[in-house]
């Protein structure tokens, strides 16, 4: 474990809907603030529930809610009206010119995942201003978040397209001077805004990929569907070169409640714990237990933080090492897996649909494959520098 010292720490909690991301984010932020870190918790799930969880009113503007703790529920329409005024204005004028009514036009300027993108820009500002020590991000359910976390990488392509489209609109407008123009002209301020976004995207990418600064924490429950979806998320996050740092296993049934829940539930839970182990080891596992009362408000969030972190500072860097990497080398697609050992034992590889099973002696590891590797065959595996390197062809 590495202390984070003077650096900004960005903790991104993600996972399937309902697993406890918001509760865990709020609990983490409360604990960080208590420890004296200047903390902000940002909700980027458009179905915001951070205010409910903290039991405090929040808005689309940053608000101080407790000593050392600020919070915001990012509101894209509000962002478009304030921070991205030129873009918001032009896009809604554009939609209106295409015959849309003004209210729908405003809604249409919002594209999926923009809450997260706005939040990433906030983080970039915080890094420059030094206003916070810790940023805790409560994100939308996995699929949407993943798309956006990959966004910095696709940003160049995306903005090239957008930029060209608007540049062409300007050209077209000049060519047709004198005729009635139905499309509004983008202003210079608008084009400047686009340029600025592109530059800032690059900064965001640097922040996201810095493993000392940014860590992704996967929240799961001991449930089959949740585990399988999160397994896929883990693969894609690795593919996008983010550092998945640890797992949060929430809603475990406590041992002392054995009289309360049926025995079969506990048996099911131990099977799913094995599945978690085989899907995510050697990631660090933080645990929290099913509460019999609602997890709402500071007191119950503090109980949750205590279960998760005990005496540990939640902002600490658990690891900077990437436990899974997916890359191409000399035209060969490769996957590197960190395993808890390096072995002379024979490695067995099995593929079923989109899952790769790795067996080494008694050890079994199961990995969701990204689409690009599903069609390929895993044909070679060797240990190198403490990692298992698997080649695909
Ligand atoms: N450990 C827990 N025990 C009992 N209820 C929980 C626990 N963790 C979360 N909840 C409850 O489950 C619901 C979903 O949690 P939430 O944090 O909003 O999940 P997400 O943000 O992943 O959708 C909320 O009502 C929350 O209070
Ligand atoms: Mg939530």
Determine which residue's CA is closest to atom 14 belonging to ligand 1.
Answer: 18
Q: Where are the beta strands (DSSP E) in 81-190?
A: 134-138
Ligand 1 test: best mutation among 23, 229, 300, most atoms within 8 Å of CB? 23
Average pLDDT over residues 270-290: 96
pLDDT tens profile 75-105? 988 988 887 777 777 777 876 776 767 777 6
Ligand 1 geometric centre to CA of 18 (Å): 6
- Return mean pLDDT, the chain: 87
- Residue 58 CA to its chain's centroid (Å): 21
In the structure encoding, which two tokens stand for residue 37, read together?
Answer: 């870190």
Q: Give yes or no for residue 183 having a pLDDT over 60.
A: yes
Ligand 2 geometric centre to CA of 248 (Å): 14
pLDDT for the residue 386? 81
Closest ligand 1 atom to residue 18 Cα is: 23
Ligand 2 geometric centre to CA of 22 (Å): 4
pLDDT tens profile 358-374? 998 888 899 999 988 99
What is the Cα–Cα distance from 360 to 58, expressed in whole angstroms?
50
Domains and CATH numbers, the chain: 9-157+200-309 (3.40.50.300), 324-392 (2.60.40.790)
Closest ligand 1 atom to residue 250 Cα is: 1
Ligand nearest to the CA of 300: 1
Strand order in the sheet with 355-360: 347-352, 355-360, 363-368
Ligand 1 geometric centre to CA of 324 (Å): 28
Question: Between 340 and 36, where is the model more confident?
Answer: 36
Asked if residues 251 and 266 have their Cβ atoms less than 8 Å apart, the reply is: no
Closest ligand 1 atom to residue 17 Cα is: 23
Closest ligand 1 atom to residue 15 Cα is: 22
Determine which of 39-53, 197-211, 240-254 has the lowest per-residue pLDDT on average.
Answer: 197-211
Q: Give yes or no for residue 204 having a pLDDT over 90.
A: no
Ligand 1 geometric centre to CA of 315 (Å): 21
Asked if residues 173 and 181 have their Cβ atoms less than 8 Å apart, the reply is: yes
Ligand nearest to the CA of 251: 1
Ligand nearest to the CA of 301: 1
Asked if residues 358 and 348 have their Cβ atoms less than 8 Å apart, the reply is: yes
Ligand nearest to the CA of 17: 1
Residues with CB under 5 A from ligand 2 (ion): 21-22, 45, 49
- Residue 302 CA to its chain's centroid (Å): 23
pLDDT for the residue 274? 96
Ligand 2 geometric centre to CA of 392 (Å): 37
Q: Give yes or no for residue 177 having a pLDDT over 90.
A: no
Q: Give yes or no for residue 172 having a pLDDT over 70.
A: no
Closest ligand 1 atom to residue 291 Cα is: 3
Q: Give yes or no for residue 166 having a pLDDT over 70.
A: no
Confidence of residue 215 (pLDDT cuts 50, 70, 90): very high
DSSP letters for 22-59: HHHHHHHHHHHHHTT--EEEEE--SS--HHHHHTS---
Ligand nearest to the CA of 254: 1
Ligand 1 geometric centre to CA of 229 (Å): 18
pLDDT for the residue 198? 77
In the structure encoding, which two tokens stand for residue 257, read together?
Answer: 């409640």
Pocket around ligand 1 at a 6 A CB cut-off: 17-23, 49, 250-251, 288, 290-291, 294-296
Confidence of residue 296 (pLDDT cuts 50, 70, 90): very high
Q: Give yes or no for residue 178 having a pLDDT over 50.
A: no
Ligand 2 geometric centre to CA of 226 (Å): 15
Q: What is the largest CA-CA distance in the chain?
A: 82
Average pLDDT over residues 185-190: 77
Closest ligand 1 atom to residue 293 Cα is: 4
What is the Cα–Cα distance from 336 to 325, expressed in whole angstroms?
5
Ligand 1 geometric centre to CA of 198 (Å): 36
What is the Cα–Cα distance from 306 to 31, expressed in whole angstroms?
9
Q: Give yes or no for residue 393 having a pLDDT over 80.
A: yes
Determine which residue's CA is closest to atom 19 belonging to ligand 1.
Answer: 20
- Phi and psi (nearest 5°) for 292? -85, -15
pLDDT tens profile 325-347? 999 999 999 999 998 777 888 89
Strand order in the sheet with 332-338: 324-329, 332-338, 387-392, 378-384
């Amino acid at each position: 474990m590495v202390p984070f010292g003077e650096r900004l720490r960005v903790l991104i909690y993600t996972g399937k809907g309902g697993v406890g991301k918001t509760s865990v984010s709020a609990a983490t932020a409360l604990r960080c603030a208590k420890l004296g870190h200047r903390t902000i918790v940002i909700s980027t799930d458009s179905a915001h529930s951070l205010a409910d969880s903290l039991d405090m009113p929040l808005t689309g503007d940053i608000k101080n809610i407790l000593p050392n703790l600020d919070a915001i529920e990012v509101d894209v329409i509000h962002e478009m009206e304030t921070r991205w005024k030129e873009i918001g204005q032009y896009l809604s004028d554009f939609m209106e010119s295409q015959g849309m009514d003004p209210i729908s036009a405003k809604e249409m300027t919002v594209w999926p995942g923009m809450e997260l993108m706005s939040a990433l820009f906030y983080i970039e500002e915080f890094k420059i201003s030094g206003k916070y020590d810790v940023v805790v991000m409560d994100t939308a359910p996995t699929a949407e978040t993943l798309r956006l976390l990959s966004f910095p990488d696709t940003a160049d392509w995306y903005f090239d397209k957008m930029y060209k489209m608007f540049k062409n609109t300007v050209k077209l407008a000049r060519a047709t001077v004198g005729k009635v123009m139905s499309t509004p002209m983008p202003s210079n301020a608008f084009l400047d805004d686009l340029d600025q976004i592109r530059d800032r995207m690059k900064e965001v990418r640097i922040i996201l990929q810095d493993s000392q600064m940014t860590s992704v924490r996967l929240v799961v429950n001991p449930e089959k569907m949740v585990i399988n979806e999160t397994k896929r998320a883990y693969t894609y996050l690795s593919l996008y070169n983010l550092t998945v740092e640890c797992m949060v296993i929430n809603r475990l049934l406590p041992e002392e409640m054995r009289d309360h829940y049926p025995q079969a539930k506990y048996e099911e839970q131990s099977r799913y714990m094995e599945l978690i182990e085989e899907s995510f080891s050697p990631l660090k596992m933080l645990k929290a237990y099913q509460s019999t009362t609602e997890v709402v408000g500071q007191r119950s969030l503090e109980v949750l933080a205590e279960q998760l972190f005990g005496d540990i500072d939640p902002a600490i860097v658990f690891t900077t090492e990437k436990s899974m990497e997916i890359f191409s080398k000399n035209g060969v697609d490769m996957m590197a897996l960190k395993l808890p050992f390096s072995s002379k034992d024979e490695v067995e590889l099995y593929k079923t649909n989109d899952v790769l099973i790795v067996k080494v002696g008694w050890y079994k590891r199961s990995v969701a494959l990204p689409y690009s590797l599903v069609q390929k065959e895993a044909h070679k595996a060797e240990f190198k520098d403490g990692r298992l390197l698997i080649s695909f062809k």
